A and B are shown apart, each in its own frame.
Chain A
Amino acid sequence: MPDSRRNIRLADGYRLQWEEAQQADVLLFPEGMVQLSSSAAAVLKQCGGNSAEEIVQALQAEFPDADLRDDVLEFIDEALTKGWIRGD
């Protein structure tokens, strides 16, 4: 069943940035930060207004050898719950 969530974007005040000193992407927000795994960062980089299906497709195109769908959708759920991203 296709996932119907759309317009997924970083929440207000959240920023994603490569940190040279940590050799990792970090997610920055009011008075806090988390260092991201490379897979988490890959998903968040697609959160610029895409739908969940578009995010899955984009990542699937980037990593054609793996079946990513379930993991990606699960991460989107998690990030929505944590308030990192918003969707319609």
Chain B
Amino acid sequence: MATDTGGPLWLLAELTYACPLQCPYCSNPLDFAAQGKELSTDEWKTVLRDARAMGALQLGFSGGEPLLRRDLEALVAEARRLGYYTNLITSGVGMDETRVAALKDAGLDHIQISFQASEAQLNDFIAGTAAFEHKLAMARAVKAHGYPMVLNAVLHRHNIDSIGDILDMALELQADYIELANTQYYGWAWHNRAELLPSREQLQNAQAVAEDYQRRAAAMKIYFVVPDYYSNRPKPCMQGWGRVFLTVAPDGTALPCQAARQLPGLQFPNVRDQSVRAIWKDSGAFNHFRGYAWMKSPCRNCPERERDFGGCRCQAYLLTGDAANADPVCDKSPEHGRILETVARAQGPRTPVREVPFVFRNTRNSKALCSR
């Protein structure tokens, strides 16, 4: 059954699952090493054209590490020609000044560079490779080439206490924006969640620091994304399933959200087999959680359902075993206790970061996990 809906406004093009980094909170699926062949340049161009024809306007190139695709410049040029606003979401590894300039010539609008911490030791430990100095150099190059400088740092138990240092680093680099995003628990982050979730005290301190900088550093926009485990209402995930966001994974699988791949019982369509329009309008997977008819109690009769759409389907699945349940972050959910248990466990003392049994996101671990 097709639901009447507008087209997607955002397209996230995950160009590759390959990545030189190994962040233990990566949002890629645990079994990324087992996924199919990457789309070709021409296949991507068709996706870009079709989504644009439906009104998509914001385009994120991400991954993995999108710089590993040698056709990135060609795809950016095509996207810009089509009228997209083009965002590159990168670790900065694999970048050099020549490429920063070539991407600018191709029409790239914005580069977001992610940092793992404010200093080399922790950054490189989390990233699993020595990348920090190079990231600093690339952040400066981005600015020098006339892009807005947008930095991103994923916050967790082991770096959230140095939020002030991260903000000082951003100020020193003259960043225009910094996004301090608390880890979202899907993919690798879910697997490592016990070692990533900060304590309530850590979170409150960090939030106070962020607010203080927001008052003082007016030239830099600071976004602080609160972890929803510490909230009693879920986020309006993806602004509703199949409403605004379209993700296309490296192998062409179309997803309403980048974490959705893990949900059982849904057949996600592939852009190799169907047009973007047919996928968006008619596919079972995109219609499955559209609107409100699929909802169970307590969401079904809840006056807040139009605000949060019942929260995140992936979180509902991971924590309750049924993706159609209310997101257990909600305190109206009968399973909210599971969030409270996880939060309670996070209040203990912090293990020194080097002793943490992180499962790093790399091909070896991915293969080991999916052969289980």
Binding site for B on A (CB under 8 A): 11-13, 15, 17, 19, 21-22, 26, 28-33, 83
A28 lies within 8 A of B148 (CB) = no
Is B57 part of the contact surface with A, judged by Cβ < 8 Å?
yes
Closest Cβ of chain B to A75, distance in Å, is 20
Closest Cβ of chain A to B337, distance in Å, is 35
Can you name the residue of chain B whose Cβ is closest to the Cβ of A28?
Answer: B85
The interface bits of chain B over 88-114 (1 if a CB of A lies within 8 angstroms of the residue's CB, else 0) are: 000000000000000000000110100
Mostly, the B contact residues are loop
How far apart sit A32 and B179, CA to CA, in the bound complex (Å)? Answer: 13
How far apart sit A12 and B143, CA to CA, in the bound complex (Å)? Answer: 10
Listed by A's residue number, 26 A-B pairs whose Cβ atoms lie within 8 Å are A11-B148, A12-B148, A13-B109, A13-B147, A13-B148, A13-B176, A15-B109, A19-B55, A21-B7, A21-B54, A21-B55, A22-B55, A28-B58, A29-B148, A30-B87, A30-B110, A30-B112, A31-B58, A31-B60, A31-B87, A31-B150, A32-B58, A33-B57, A33-B58, A33-B85, A83-B221
Can you name the residue of chain B whose Cβ is closest to the Cβ of A20?
Answer: B55
Closest Cβ of chain A to B358, distance in Å, is 28
- Asked if A30 meets B148 with Cβ closer than 8 Å, knowing A15-B85, A21-B7, the reply is yes
Is B146 part of the contact surface with A, judged by Cβ < 8 Å?
yes
Within 8 Å CB of B221, what residues of A? 83
How far apart sit A11 and B150, CA to CA, in the bound complex (Å)? Answer: 14
The interface bits of chain B over 73-88 (1 if a CB of A lies within 8 angstroms of the residue's CB, else 0) are: 0000000000101010
Is B213 part of the contact surface with A, judged by Cβ < 8 Å?
no
How far apart sit A31 and B178, CA to CA, in the bound complex (Å)? Answer: 12
How far apart sit A19 and B55, CA to CA, in the bound complex (Å)? Answer: 8
Within 8 Å CB of A12, what residues of B? 146-148, 176
Within 8 Å CB of B176, what residues of A? 12-13, 30
How far apart sit A11 and B177, CA to CA, in the bound complex (Å)? Answer: 13
Q: Of the candidates A11, A17, A31, A32, which one forms a contact with B83 in the assembled complex, judged by CB atoms under 8 Å apart?
A: A17
B83 lies within 8 A of A30 (CB) = no
Within 8 Å CB of B150, what residues of A? 30-31
